Structure 1
Amino acid sequence: MMGARAWLLLFLLNGSAAVLRPEHVSSCRVLERVANCTDLNLTSFPHWLPNGVHTVDLSGNFLQNLTDIVSFYPTIHQLNLHSNRIEFIQPGLFRSMSHLQVLDLSRNQLDLYAALKIAVGPLTFVQKLDLSGNGLYTDMSDTFLGDAPALTNLSLNGNSITKIGKDTFIGTPALRNIDLHNNVILEIEEGTFESLPHLAELDLSMNSISCITDFNLYQLNSLNLSKNSMTSFQSIISDQDFQLLYLDLRENKIQYFPILPTKNKLIYLDLSRNQLHSLNGTDADEELHNHKSPLKLCSLLYLDLSYNHLKSIPPDFFVSMVALESLNISNNCLESFMLDHRSLNTLKTLDLSFNNLQNLTFGNCTLEMLETLYLQGNWLNTLDPGIFQGLPSIRTLHLQQNQLSVCGLEKHVSGSCVYLSDICTLQYLYLSENDLLYLPAQAFKCSPLLILDLSLNPGVEINEHALSGLERFLTHLSLRGNQLQVLNFDLSLLHHLKVVDLSSNQLSSLLLASGDTAIESLNLQNNSMVTLETHTLKTLQNTLRNLYMGSNPLSCCRNMQLIDLVQQKSVHIPDIAMVTCKYRKDGEYVEINLRNVQSEHCETLRSKVLVISMITVLTLGLMVVLLVAIRLCHSRSHRFNHSYKA
């Protein structure tokens, strides 16, 4: 009786508040039985909707109370009350709504109603219920879940739940999907989910769960435990088949590889950003268990072990992973990585970047399907010269930030360099920041590279035939930051080259001799260019779309053709604000932005040149006249003297 009086009093108070509040109501938009009443400042359920409406969206209003008015629309299938101020629901309100399947009550103030301990009443036909962002804490969800026999999808994320009791889901036996992420869950009572035979997806991410022991949800397909405080995950020892496919354990504090169901169907396992320092069990008993029942992950396609503290990988760790396609062990502490004969032959992507790798060994007939290999950020220096030639499907090699050298045509028996030629599948190669000193002739011969990054190898000497063999394939070339003073090979010979980055060098000219090129983007920033030759511009004019020229000591009056292209917008210069040139005025050099150069800036110089030329001509003319006059005078004097003597 006291409970009924309490909610009646609350209803009357809220009703009074609604009367006093000014209301600005606009018409809902109704189209094909869908009523859109969002953000209309409504304080009560609209009573003017058509009788046959199926979907009503009242999100973003100011509703506080849900009363009998809702039952006037028995045909509603979907009711969205997201982001209102609802703090009271008339008990039994949804009983007569026999078609209601989707009910969204997220981001309201239902904690005020739940505190009254009054059940909402049956949600007999509701299949999807969203109660997220309502400030609900432990046991409050029982107010809404006591009688919902058809409910399959439940969202309780963004509340303040600290504990899930074993009776929480007694009234929702049909649940298939439960979202509990972003709560404060510390405890889950034993048997809580065992009453849900159809449960397939469970999201417990962003909580405060410390461990999972005796995991026994055989029917579960997906389990998300990321961003908790877990130190371990252990499944029960059972010969029964588990249906788990996706297990997300990232961003926890797990120190040892989890003990997984012996009979599992896992295809996705994420253990990234933990504290793994071993891929064994957590103690002697578990290691013994692992020894008796070795790890079997025969269906696993994706494994992420990145951002941990692993120093080594057991030699037989990958033996059972006969279907693995993606393996990420980046950002660990590995010093060596070795694969035995015929290991990981289904793998397509392998990420070993940002470890401490100094040794890398791939046995015979390993990694036969590997397409992408990430090795950047290691200490690789001495490798088997033919290690990459032994990867029959490799398409992309990330070798940046190592200390590798590239072999030429001569045969090497030591590991002082690696061959990057004759790899008939290789299309993308990244060799930046390797302290390369020399790039030999035909370094990539018979490797059909599309993208080649040789940037940030300051002082590298590039043989004029280093890119020979790439004429029919290469589209992107980066030589950024190599301190190049001269480009001793003709870029126009690379017939399909579209993007060229030559920035941050010391180039004063560009070699494009053939007069035919496909270059669309050219970066010459931060070089020593005084003049971009007319021949170069003529070669580029039909294909060039983007030209970067900032931070060059350009001459205004020697680049009039470039200035014309800029001012006519024939070529787009994305860094035009940084592109300046200098012209001489009153004996001093003046700097000006390239787009602001006018013809008169060079007329003074031209006039001076003309005056100097005229003076020079006149001077030369006078000198010639004077010489002729002297010669004539001398001739006459000679004739006079000759006559006198006679």
Structure 2
Amino acid sequence: MGACAWLVLVIVNEVAALLYAQQSSPCEVVQTDVFCNNKNLRSIPGRLPPGIQKLDLSRNLLQNLTHEVLSVYNTVHHLNLHSNKIHFIQPGVFRALTNLQVLDLSENNLDVFAALKTDVGRLPSVESLDLSGNGLYTGMSDYFLRDAPALKNLSLDGNSITMIDNGTFTGSSALRKIDLHNNVILEITEGAFEYLNDLSDLDLSMNSITCITDFNLCRLKLLNLSKNSLELFQAVELDREYELLYLDLRENKIPYFPILPKMSRLMYLDLSRNRLRDVNTSGNAEEDLMSERSFKGHQRVGHQDFSQLLYLDMSFNQIKSLPSLFFSSMMFLETLNVSNNCLEAFSVTQEAPLNGLKTLDLSFNALQELSFEQNTLLSLEALYLQGNYLGTADSHLFHRLPYIRELHLQQNYLRICEPHASEISHKPRPHGCVSLSSIPTLKYVSLADNSLRIVPQNAFRGSPVQVLDLSNNPGLYLHKNAFSGLETSLTHLSLQENHLHTLNTDLSFLTSLRVVNLSMNRLTSLPLRNKESSIELLNLQNNSLVTLEHNTLEVLERTLKTLYMGLNPLSCCSNGRFLDMVKGKPSVEIPDLASVTCQYTLDSNEVEINILDVVEDHHCKSLDLKTLNIVIIVASGVGLIVTLVVVFKLCHRRRRRHNSSFKA
């Protein structure tokens, strides 16, 4: 009985202590997690619930970490001390925290502590350590890493480290991931990472490294060297396969294609924003010059194995040519980006068919020639060709792409072929236009800014295009059947900045059309007749519209949600239904309402006001009187003419009778 009473007393005391801790502490307790962040604390609270596993003390004013306070919380697994003012750590303070796995000391003043040249002591169970943003210089990180046997993830991001030597990580040999992003690293001593047998992820981006000539970390899976000053990257050839999957070399100064291992599993390679002139892998200027004169694909690139490569980005370089054999081993490549280079021609041949490619970006080059042989690019879905000089092409170029969905053809000089019966047989046609009909997978087409003169009839028949951009082609003529065949597929249409005076086609018969951009034209009317229209967003900005017809608004009101109408010379007094829409239909949003104005006549002068300020009884009164006067004058004139005619006829009859009475 006494034992039971003792047990009850212990439980009551524990509960009382917990309640007292919760009431007296400024922290928030959620089960076993305690949140003391952003409380302006200058010391760690001494009364927190027992058994806590996560303690968040971030964004406070803590300066010192001492054994007396922290040893109380030996059950903590996750300790967050981010963004304090910590400049002193009592050596050995973490030794008692045998359950501590995650320790965040980022954004403090640990450079002050490191200047004392004192080790922080053993980190017995810590697996993740964040020391980023502490102003640490070369060698300072050693004082935190000399006895961290369980450490797997380390962040030293945003410090001032200039060199990594071969003793930096000796006390943390279990490391798998190291983040050294955004330092000032100039040099990496030979062997600095070699003894880290489990290292798989290394981030050295945003440093000042100029050269990697002996890369031999064969177990590394991810290497980020972007935003350095690299001029050379060369791997050491080993007898074993490299496990590297991801290599990021973007934003460097590399003039030659990097020399990668023969045996590798590389899946992702980014070489964008470098100084690549070609894909020669020699790294030797003289050899490069000779190979320019006499290229043989296997001599230059054949020794490199890209059989696992899925992603290759070489955009924003100075590449002038890409021999098709360069791609001969890239059987599974899915994304190729060579945009913003100096290519004048590009071809895909059966020797390197790139049949795994889904996205090909050749935009913003100087392309004048483009060719795809039969049975190549059999998986291609998106083709980016904007910003080139393409004016002539094989008319059936895109018919050879059985899965093509997107054609980005803007900013070229292409013309659209008018389809004929022969299109079905896909017989070759003369160069000078491209056929966009009868491509059953095609969903997106942009021909903006191509100096197009005409969109012929049935231009897209047989191609279920959903998004069509024909904007910025001044003087464009649309055949009345230009969109024939798109009645049930087209959802987005852009015809802006084409100087259109009229629309030859009634867009309301495109029954799936939801978004229409007709801005920056010279339209005086928008005839819509089909009440099955689905238009939800209509942009009519900057046209010559005086009146929105009653029938047009009747068609639009059923589905319209957004309307842009600014910069049109609207009449205040002949747009009654539009005024009702503006003022009385909240379901239609007019985002540019502040710039929607109209004109009315006052004392023979045209006055412009915002459409919301129109009061018909007031602003249209003078116009109504003027109209009435005109009607009266016209009616009076007509009446006078009729009277004169009647009088003339009567006089004429009397004269005839008078003359007849004197006949002999």
Distance 1:560 1:343, change over 3 A: same
Moved more, 511-520 or 409-418: 409-418
The answer to whether the aligner puts 1:325 opposite 2:343 as a matched pair is no
Match of 2:611 in 1: 594
Match of 1:194 in 2: 194
Match of 2:20 in 1: none
> Counterpart of 1:113 in 2: which secondary structure?
helix
Q: For 1:234-273, what per-residue CA distance to the aligned partner results, in whole angstroms no more than 9, with x for missing partners?
A: 0001221111000000000001111111110011000000
- How far, CA to CA, are the matches of 1:640 and 1:123 in structure 2? 137
Match of 2:511 in 1: 495
Q: For 1:529-573, what per-residue CA distance to the aligned partner results, in whole angstroms no more than 9, with x for missing partners?
A: 111110111111101111111111111111111011101134221
Q: For 1:457-503, what per-residue CA distance to the aligned partner results, in whole angstroms no more than 9, with x for missing partners?
A: 11122211111111111111111111111111111221111111111
Q: 1:340 aligns with which of 341, 349, 374?
A: 349
Q: For 1:158-211, what per-residue CA distance to the aligned partner results, in whole angstroms no more than 9, with x for missing partners?
A: 000000110111100110000000000001110011111000100000000011
Residue identity in the other structure for 1:405: R
- How far, CA to CA, are the matches of 2:469 and 2:564 in structure 1? 18
How many residues matched? 619
The answer to whether the aligner puts 1:27 opposite 2:44 as a matched pair is no
- How far, CA to CA, are the matches of 2:645 and 2:497 in structure 1? 60
Deviation at 1:605, TM superposition (A): 1.6
The answer to whether the aligner puts 1:377 opposite 2:383 as a matched pair is no
Distance 1:311 1:115, change over 3 A: same
Deviation at 1:439, TM superposition (A): 1.5
Q: For 1:564-592, what per-residue CA distance to the aligned partner results, in whole angstroms no more than 9, with x for missing partners?
A: 11011342211111111100011111001
Match of 1:297 in 2: 306
For structure 2, list consecutive stretches of 5 or more residues without a partner in the other structure: 1-23, 423-427
Deviation at 1:292, TM superposition (A): 9.5
Match of 1:585 in 2: 602
Asked whether the equivalents of residues 27 and 34 of structure 2 are also in contact (C-alpha less than 8 Å), the reply is: yes
Match of 1:143 in 2: 143
Distance 1:350 1:625, change over 3 A: closer
Match of 1:282 in 2: 283
The answer to whether the aligner puts 1:389 opposite 2:399 as a matched pair is yes
Deviation at 1:610, TM superposition (A): 3.0
Distance 1:162 1:290, change over 3 A: farther
Match of 1:605 in 2: 623
> Counterpart of 2:324 in 1: which secondary structure?
coil
Give TM-score, length-normalised by structure 1: 0.91
Distance 1:391 1:629, change over 3 A: closer
Residue identity in the other structure for 1:64: Q
Deviation at 1:382, TM superposition (A): 1.3
Asked whether the equivalents of residues 26 and 40 of structure 1 are also in contact (C-alpha less than 8 Å), the reply is: no
Distance 1:110 1:615, change over 3 A: same
- How far, CA to CA, are the matches of 1:313 and 1:374 in structure 2? 17
Give TM-score, length-normalised by structure 2: 0.89
The answer to whether the aligner puts 1:436 opposite 2:446 as a matched pair is no
Asked whether the equivalents of residues 257 and 276 of structure 1 are also in contact (C-alpha less than 8 Å), the reply is: yes
The answer to whether the aligner puts 1:306 opposite 2:305 as a matched pair is no
Match of 1:17 in 2: none
Q: 1:563 aligns with which of 568, 579, 602?
A: 579
Match of 2:59 in 1: 60
- How far, CA to CA, are the matches of 1:370 and 1:378 in structure 2? 20
- How far, CA to CA, are the matches of 1:190 and 1:631 in structure 2? 120
Asked whether the equivalents of residues 501 and 522 of structure 2 are also in contact (C-alpha less than 8 Å), the reply is: yes
- How far, CA to CA, are the matches of 1:513 and 1:308 in structure 2? 52
For structure 1, list consecutive stretches of 5 or more residues without a partner in the other structure: 1-24
- How far, CA to CA, are the matches of 1:414 and 1:404 in structure 2? 14
Distance 1:524 1:31, change over 3 A: same
Asked whether the equivalents of residues 131 and 157 of structure 2 are also in contact (C-alpha less than 8 Å), the reply is: yes
> Counterpart of 1:572 in 2: which secondary structure?
coil
- How far, CA to CA, are the matches of 1:32 and 1:399 in structure 2? 58
- How far, CA to CA, are the matches of 2:87 and 2:512 in structure 1? 66
Deviation at 1:315, TM superposition (A): 2.7
Distance 1:232 1:623, change over 3 A: closer
Residue identity in the other structure for 2:602: K
- How far, CA to CA, are the matches of 2:651 and 2:452 in structure 1? 75
Q: Where in structure 2 are the equivalents of 1:152-301 lying within 5 Å?
A: 152-280=152-280, 281-283=282-284, 294-301=303-310
Moved more, 155-164 or 634-643: 634-643
Deviation at 1:293, TM superposition (A): 6.4
- How far, CA to CA, are the matches of 2:404 and 2:641 in structure 1? 77
